[in-house]
Chains A and B, each alone.
Chain A
Protein backbone atom coordinates (compact mmCIF):
# COMPACT_ATOMS: atom_id res chain seq x y z
CA UNK A 1 0.00 0.00 0.00
CA UNK A 2 2.85 2.37 0.77
CA UNK A 3 4.22 1.77 -2.70
CA UNK A 4 0.93 2.22 -4.54
CA UNK A 5 -0.45 5.26 -2.74
CA UNK A 6 2.07 7.89 -3.97
CA UNK A 7 1.46 6.78 -7.55
CA UNK A 8 -2.31 7.09 -7.17
CA UNK A 9 -1.78 10.48 -5.55
CA UNK A 10 0.28 11.54 -8.57
CA UNK A 11 -2.57 10.49 -10.87
CA UNK A 12 -5.05 12.42 -8.75
CA UNK A 13 -2.88 15.54 -8.51
CA UNK A 14 -2.35 15.65 -12.26
CA UNK A 15 -6.01 14.88 -13.01
CA UNK A 16 -5.06 11.70 -14.85
CA UNK A 17 -7.64 9.51 -13.11
CA UNK A 18 -10.69 9.75 -10.90
CA UNK A 19 -13.20 7.58 -9.16
CA UNK A 20 -15.73 5.72 -11.26
CA UNK A 21 -19.26 6.67 -10.27
CA UNK A 22 -18.47 10.21 -9.18
CA UNK A 23 -20.21 13.35 -10.46
CA UNK A 24 -19.23 13.65 -14.10
CA UNK A 25 -19.95 17.29 -14.79
CA UNK A 26 -22.35 19.95 -13.64
CA UNK A 27 -23.98 20.42 -17.03
CA UNK A 28 -24.81 18.10 -19.89
CA UNK A 29 -25.93 18.72 -23.42
CA UNK A 30 -26.79 16.61 -26.43
CA UNK A 31 -25.32 17.46 -29.80
CA UNK A 32 -26.42 16.02 -33.12
CA UNK A 33 -24.15 16.05 -36.13
CA UNK A 34 -25.75 15.25 -39.46
CA UNK A 35 -24.05 13.71 -42.49
CA UNK A 36 -24.44 16.02 -45.47
CA UNK A 37 -22.80 13.32 -47.61
CA UNK A 38 -20.91 10.08 -47.02
CA UNK A 39 -17.47 10.35 -48.58
CA UNK A 40 -14.43 8.42 -47.42
CA UNK A 41 -12.18 10.55 -45.24
CA UNK A 42 -14.81 13.25 -44.95
CA UNK A 43 -14.36 15.48 -41.92
CA UNK A 44 -17.71 16.65 -40.58
CA UNK A 45 -17.20 19.69 -38.38
CA UNK A 46 -19.35 20.65 -35.43
CA UNK A 47 -21.15 23.98 -35.33
CA UNK A 48 -19.69 26.70 -33.17
CA UNK A 49 -20.66 26.33 -29.52
CA UNK A 50 -19.73 29.17 -27.18
CA UNK A 51 -21.00 27.26 -24.18
CA UNK A 52 -18.58 24.39 -24.78
CA UNK A 53 -15.72 26.70 -25.79
CA UNK A 54 -15.96 28.22 -22.31
CA UNK A 55 -16.23 24.91 -20.53
CA UNK A 56 -14.09 22.12 -19.20
CA UNK A 57 -15.20 18.99 -20.99
CA UNK A 58 -15.65 16.15 -18.48
CA UNK A 59 -17.17 13.25 -20.43
CA UNK A 60 -18.18 12.51 -24.00
CA UNK A 61 -20.73 9.79 -24.62
CA UNK A 62 -21.65 8.47 -28.06
CA UNK A 63 -25.28 7.39 -28.03
CA UNK A 64 -26.13 4.49 -30.33
CA UNK A 65 -29.36 3.18 -31.78
CA UNK A 66 -29.87 0.54 -29.08
CA UNK A 67 -30.05 3.37 -26.53
CA UNK A 68 -31.87 6.04 -28.56
CA UNK A 69 -33.09 5.10 -32.00
CA UNK A 70 -33.54 8.64 -33.37
CA UNK A 71 -32.04 12.04 -32.86
CA UNK A 72 -33.36 15.46 -33.81
CA UNK A 73 -31.39 17.79 -36.05
CA UNK A 74 -32.98 21.11 -37.08
CA UNK A 75 -36.52 19.73 -36.75
CA UNK A 76 -35.60 16.64 -38.78
CA UNK A 77 -35.45 13.15 -37.33
CA UNK A 78 -32.23 11.26 -38.10
CA UNK A 79 -31.34 7.64 -37.43
CA UNK A 80 -28.81 7.32 -34.62
CA UNK A 81 -25.78 5.26 -35.66
CA UNK A 82 -25.38 1.64 -34.58
CA UNK A 83 -22.36 0.28 -32.70
CA UNK A 84 -21.17 -1.23 -35.99
CA UNK A 85 -21.10 2.16 -37.67
CA UNK A 86 -19.33 3.61 -34.64
CA UNK A 87 -16.28 1.47 -35.46
CA UNK A 88 -15.94 3.34 -38.74
CA UNK A 89 -15.64 6.89 -37.48
CA UNK A 90 -13.24 8.91 -35.35
CA UNK A 91 -13.77 12.01 -33.22
CA UNK A 92 -10.95 14.56 -33.35
CA UNK A 93 -10.81 17.30 -30.71
CA UNK A 94 -8.76 20.41 -31.50
CA UNK A 95 -7.83 23.68 -29.85
CA UNK A 96 -7.80 27.24 -31.17
CA UNK A 97 -4.63 26.55 -33.21
CA UNK A 98 -6.24 23.43 -34.70
CA UNK A 99 -3.69 21.35 -32.82
CA UNK A 100 -5.07 17.85 -32.40
CA UNK A 101 -5.59 17.31 -28.68
CA UNK A 102 -7.34 13.97 -28.82
CA UNK A 103 -8.37 11.36 -31.36
CA UNK A 104 -11.03 8.97 -30.16
CA UNK A 105 -12.74 6.13 -32.02
CA UNK A 106 -16.47 6.63 -31.52
CA UNK A 107 -16.95 3.04 -30.36
CA UNK A 108 -14.73 3.66 -27.30
CA UNK A 109 -17.04 6.40 -26.09
CA UNK A 110 -20.19 4.26 -26.10
CA UNK A 111 -21.01 4.04 -22.44
CA UNK A 112 -23.32 1.03 -22.66
CA UNK A 113 -20.56 -1.10 -24.22
CA UNK A 114 -18.08 -0.29 -21.46
CA UNK A 115 -20.08 -1.49 -18.47
CA UNK A 116 -21.62 1.95 -18.00
CA UNK A 117 -18.31 3.71 -17.58
CA UNK A 118 -18.02 7.00 -19.44
CA UNK A 119 -14.90 8.23 -21.20
CA UNK A 120 -13.55 10.86 -18.80
CA UNK A 121 -11.85 13.95 -20.19
CA UNK A 122 -10.30 17.06 -18.71
CA UNK A 123 -10.17 19.47 -21.63
CA UNK A 124 -10.23 23.22 -21.08
CA UNK A 125 -8.94 24.48 -24.41
CA UNK A 126 -11.21 22.86 -26.96
CA UNK A 127 -12.73 25.01 -29.69
CA UNK A 128 -15.83 23.12 -30.67
CA UNK A 129 -16.05 24.38 -34.25
CA UNK A 130 -12.53 23.00 -34.85
CA UNK A 131 -13.61 19.51 -33.79
CA UNK A 132 -14.88 16.98 -36.27
CA UNK A 133 -15.91 13.40 -36.91
CA UNK A 134 -14.07 11.68 -39.74
CA UNK A 135 -15.53 8.80 -41.74
CA UNK A 136 -12.83 6.12 -42.03
CA UNK A 137 -15.10 3.65 -43.80
CA UNK A 138 -18.36 4.70 -45.46
CA UNK A 139 -19.96 1.26 -45.66
CA UNK A 140 -23.41 1.35 -44.08
CA UNK A 141 -23.61 5.14 -43.60
CA UNK A 142 -26.34 7.20 -45.21
CA UNK A 143 -27.38 10.84 -45.08
CA UNK A 144 -30.27 9.74 -42.87
CA UNK A 145 -27.78 8.96 -40.09
CA UNK A 146 -26.90 11.36 -37.32
CA UNK A 147 -24.16 11.25 -34.70
CA UNK A 148 -25.74 11.70 -31.28
CA UNK A 149 -23.10 12.95 -28.83
CA UNK A 150 -23.73 13.73 -25.16
CA UNK A 151 -21.21 15.99 -23.47
CA UNK A 152 -20.93 16.73 -19.76
CA UNK A 153 -18.97 19.79 -18.70
CA UNK A 154 -18.27 22.40 -16.06
CA UNK A 155 -18.36 26.09 -16.84
CA UNK A 156 -14.96 27.74 -16.51
CA UNK A 157 -16.39 30.87 -14.91
CA UNK A 158 -17.97 28.87 -12.09
CA UNK A 159 -14.82 26.95 -11.13
Chain B
Protein backbone atom coordinates (compact mmCIF):
# COMPACT_ATOMS: atom_id res chain seq x y z
CA UNK B 1 0.00 0.00 0.00
CA UNK B 2 1.40 3.39 -1.00
CA UNK B 3 1.24 6.63 0.93
CA UNK B 4 1.98 10.10 -0.34
CA UNK B 5 5.41 11.71 -0.08
CA UNK B 6 5.26 15.45 0.56
CA UNK B 7 7.49 17.46 -1.77
CA UNK B 8 5.65 20.74 -1.40
CA UNK B 9 2.43 21.65 0.34
CA UNK B 10 0.20 24.65 0.70
CA UNK B 11 -2.75 25.34 2.98
CA UNK B 12 -5.83 26.50 1.05
CA UNK B 13 -9.10 27.80 2.41
CA UNK B 14 -12.72 27.83 1.33
CA UNK B 15 -14.20 30.57 3.48
CA UNK B 16 -17.89 30.26 4.30
CA UNK B 17 -18.41 33.97 3.72
CA UNK B 18 -21.82 35.33 4.61
CA UNK B 19 -24.65 33.03 5.62
CA UNK B 20 -24.17 29.28 5.41
CA UNK B 21 -26.78 27.90 3.03
CA UNK B 22 -27.48 24.40 1.80
CA UNK B 23 -26.48 23.97 -1.83
CA UNK B 24 -24.34 27.09 -1.90
CA UNK B 25 -20.84 26.99 -3.35
CA UNK B 26 -17.89 28.56 -1.56
CA UNK B 27 -14.79 29.05 -3.69
CA UNK B 28 -11.14 28.70 -2.71
CA UNK B 29 -9.18 31.77 -1.78
CA UNK B 30 -6.43 32.55 -4.25
CA UNK B 31 -2.91 31.44 -3.29
CA UNK B 32 -0.06 32.78 -5.47
CA UNK B 33 2.03 29.64 -4.84
CA UNK B 34 -0.67 27.53 -6.52
CA UNK B 35 -1.68 29.96 -9.25
CA UNK B 36 1.13 28.89 -11.53
CA UNK B 37 1.03 26.68 -14.57
CA UNK B 38 4.23 24.86 -13.71
CA UNK B 39 2.86 22.87 -10.80
CA UNK B 40 0.82 19.71 -10.52
CA UNK B 41 -1.30 18.78 -7.54
CA UNK B 42 -1.05 15.08 -6.66
CA UNK B 43 -2.64 14.82 -3.22
CA UNK B 44 -5.10 16.49 -0.88
CA UNK B 45 -5.88 16.39 2.81
CA UNK B 46 -8.75 18.15 4.54
CA UNK B 47 -8.91 19.42 8.11
CA UNK B 48 -11.63 20.07 10.60
CA UNK B 49 -10.98 21.79 13.92
CA UNK B 50 -9.98 18.38 15.29
CA UNK B 51 -6.82 18.64 13.19
CA UNK B 52 -6.38 22.41 12.83
CA UNK B 53 -8.19 24.86 15.08
CA UNK B 54 -7.32 28.06 13.22
CA UNK B 55 -5.91 28.71 9.76
CA UNK B 56 -2.71 30.72 9.28
CA UNK B 57 -4.93 33.62 8.15
CA UNK B 58 -6.77 33.55 11.47
CA UNK B 59 -10.04 31.94 10.41
CA UNK B 60 -11.74 29.35 12.58
CA UNK B 61 -11.83 25.93 10.91
CA UNK B 62 -15.17 24.13 10.59
CA UNK B 63 -15.87 21.61 13.33
CA UNK B 64 -17.63 19.05 11.14
CA UNK B 65 -17.07 17.69 7.64
CA UNK B 66 -20.13 15.51 7.11
CA UNK B 67 -22.20 18.30 5.53
CA UNK B 68 -19.58 19.35 2.99
CA UNK B 69 -18.56 18.04 -0.42
CA UNK B 70 -15.50 19.19 -2.37
CA UNK B 71 -15.09 19.80 -6.11
CA UNK B 72 -11.76 20.41 -7.87
CA UNK B 73 -11.47 21.90 -11.34
CA UNK B 74 -8.41 21.70 -13.54
CA UNK B 75 -7.08 24.34 -15.90
CA UNK B 76 -9.52 23.13 -18.58
CA UNK B 77 -12.43 23.81 -16.19
CA UNK B 78 -13.03 20.09 -15.95
CA UNK B 79 -14.46 18.98 -12.62
CA UNK B 80 -12.11 16.05 -12.27
CA UNK B 81 -13.00 15.52 -8.61
CA UNK B 82 -16.70 16.20 -8.28
CA UNK B 83 -18.39 16.41 -4.91
CA UNK B 84 -16.15 14.10 -2.96
CA UNK B 85 -17.28 14.01 0.71
CA UNK B 86 -15.00 16.18 2.81
CA UNK B 87 -14.89 13.43 5.44
CA UNK B 88 -13.16 11.15 2.91
CA UNK B 89 -10.26 13.59 2.55
CA UNK B 90 -9.33 13.57 6.25
CA UNK B 91 -6.20 11.51 6.73
CA UNK B 92 -7.11 10.21 10.18
CA UNK B 93 -10.33 8.77 8.73
CA UNK B 94 -8.35 6.78 6.16
CA UNK B 95 -5.98 4.90 8.47
CA UNK B 96 -3.35 7.60 7.97
CA UNK B 97 -3.38 7.42 4.18
CA UNK B 98 -3.48 10.68 2.22
CA UNK B 99 -5.79 10.77 -0.80
CA UNK B 100 -3.74 10.60 -4.00
CA UNK B 101 -4.94 12.40 -7.13
CA UNK B 102 -3.97 11.91 -10.73
CA UNK B 103 -1.45 14.74 -11.14
CA UNK B 104 -3.06 17.81 -12.69
CA UNK B 105 -2.67 21.52 -13.05
CA UNK B 106 -5.59 22.92 -11.10
CA UNK B 107 -7.39 26.22 -11.31
CA UNK B 108 -7.58 26.91 -7.59
CA UNK B 109 -10.08 29.74 -7.62
CA UNK B 110 -12.48 27.55 -9.63
CA UNK B 111 -12.40 24.85 -6.95
CA UNK B 112 -15.22 24.97 -4.45
CA UNK B 113 -17.02 23.28 -1.59
CA UNK B 114 -20.78 22.76 -1.53
CA UNK B 115 -22.77 22.65 1.67
CA UNK B 116 -25.17 19.73 1.95
CA UNK B 117 -26.09 20.24 5.61
CA UNK B 118 -25.59 23.42 7.62
CA UNK B 119 -25.57 21.80 11.07
CA UNK B 120 -22.66 23.03 13.20
CA UNK B 121 -21.37 25.24 10.37
CA UNK B 122 -21.08 28.95 11.05
CA UNK B 123 -20.61 32.00 8.88
CA UNK B 124 -17.00 33.01 8.19
CA UNK B 125 -15.54 29.69 9.25
CA UNK B 126 -13.14 28.06 6.79
CA UNK B 127 -12.90 24.66 5.22
CA UNK B 128 -9.14 24.15 5.23
CA UNK B 129 -7.09 21.77 3.11
CA UNK B 130 -3.50 20.99 2.41
CA UNK B 131 -2.72 20.51 -1.27
CA UNK B 132 0.39 18.49 -2.08
CA UNK B 133 2.10 19.58 -5.28
CA UNK B 134 5.30 19.45 -7.27
CA UNK B 135 7.02 21.63 -9.82
CA UNK B 136 7.07 20.40 -13.41
CA UNK B 137 9.46 21.37 -16.15
Residues of A within 8 A of B (CB): 7-8, 10-11, 14-20, 87-88, 90, 100-105, 107-108, 113-117, 119-123, 134, 136-137
Consensus secondary structure, chain B interface = strand
| Those 4 A-B pairs whose CB atoms lie nearest each other, nearest first | A114-B96, A117-B96, A136-B54, A17-B2
Please state if B5 and A15 are interface contacts (CB–CB under 8 Å): yes
Report A-chain residues with C-beta under 8 Å of the C-beta of B20: none
Please state if B11 and A103 are interface contacts (CB–CB under 8 Å): yes
* Chain B: interface residue total (CB-CB under 8 A): 36
CB<8 Å pairs between A and B, sample of 19: A14-B42, A14-B134, A16-B7, A16-B43, A16-B103, A18-B3, A19-B1, A87-B52, A87-B53, A88-B53, A88-B54, A90-B52, A90-B56, A100-B33, A105-B47, A108-B47, A108-B130, A117-B95, A136-B52
Please state if A121 and B5 are interface contacts (CB–CB under 8 Å): yes
Q: A102-B8, A104-B130 are in contact. Are A136 and B56 (CB under 8 A)?
A: yes
Q: A115-B96, A117-B97 are in contact. Are A87 and B42 (CB under 8 A)?
A: no
Residues of B within 8 A of A (CB): 1-11, 33, 42-43, 45, 47, 49-56, 58, 91-92, 95-97, 100, 102-103, 130, 132, 134
Please state if A15 and B53 are interface contacts (CB–CB under 8 Å): no
Complex: A66 Cα to B88 Cα, angstroms: 26
Please state if A120 and B3 are interface contacts (CB–CB under 8 Å): yes
Looking at the complex, which one of B1, B42, B53, B130 makes contact with A20 (CB distance below 8 Å)? B1
Complex: A19 Cα to B2 Cα, angstroms: 4
Report A-chain residues with C-beta under 8 Å of the C-beta of B1: 19-20
Complex: A61 Cα to B53 Cα, angstroms: 19
Q: A16-B103, A108-B51, A134-B56 are in contact. Are A101 and B8 (CB under 8 A)?
A: yes
